[in-house]
Structure 1
């Protein structure tokens, strides 16, 4: 029986930081990108907010296909760059187009 003062790790040393319990700055650690270089990503903007001429409709299948993968899944907004309002509206329009068979629910491989 263990007393409450005993640790559950037994005789193992405590874990250090990093994945797998390794210290990323120790000997043999720290591989990968140098930390002083910054990578700048271009901020994605909502296509529907910037260009008001693009109308979102379940009948406009060509516009909806841009936001759906080849397998038929809706692409998330962190990838497309849509705002939350337009991503929700886009999801509704894609589901409407699926229900009347303008877009596939899923694509089967032959």
Structure 2
């Protein structure tokens, strides 16, 4: 029987809570950090954002997509 060692990862902290950053749909540079190369919004478990800021982030990304600051998908 093989012994499997579990590796513990450092708990991710919310960047917006720690640095007191406001989420704004006009800040495309910040929003692109939370979007995959396919144009999808990254989940909380990967980014480490709290639930409150993840909801605000998703709304900001969707608004930025509508007014064409952030693309829905990348060009093929």
> Take 2:7 and 2:39, find their aligned partners in 1: how far apart are those partners?
32
Question: Which structure is higher in RCO with an 8 Å CA cutoff and minimum separation 6?
Answer: 2
Unaligned ranges ≥5, structure 2: none
The equivalent residue for 2:15 is 47
Aligned: 1:77 with 2:55: no
Could you say which structure has the higher helix fraction?
Answer: 2
Corresponding residue for 2:69? Answer: 102
Q: How many residues align?
A: 76
Runs of 4+ in 1 over 2 A off after TM superposition: none
1:65 matched residue in structure 2: 32
Question: Per-residue CA shift, 1:30-82, capped at 9, x if unaligned?
Answer: 5xxx23x3311010011001111x22100001110010011110000010000
Q: In the alignment, what sits opposite 2:53? A: 86
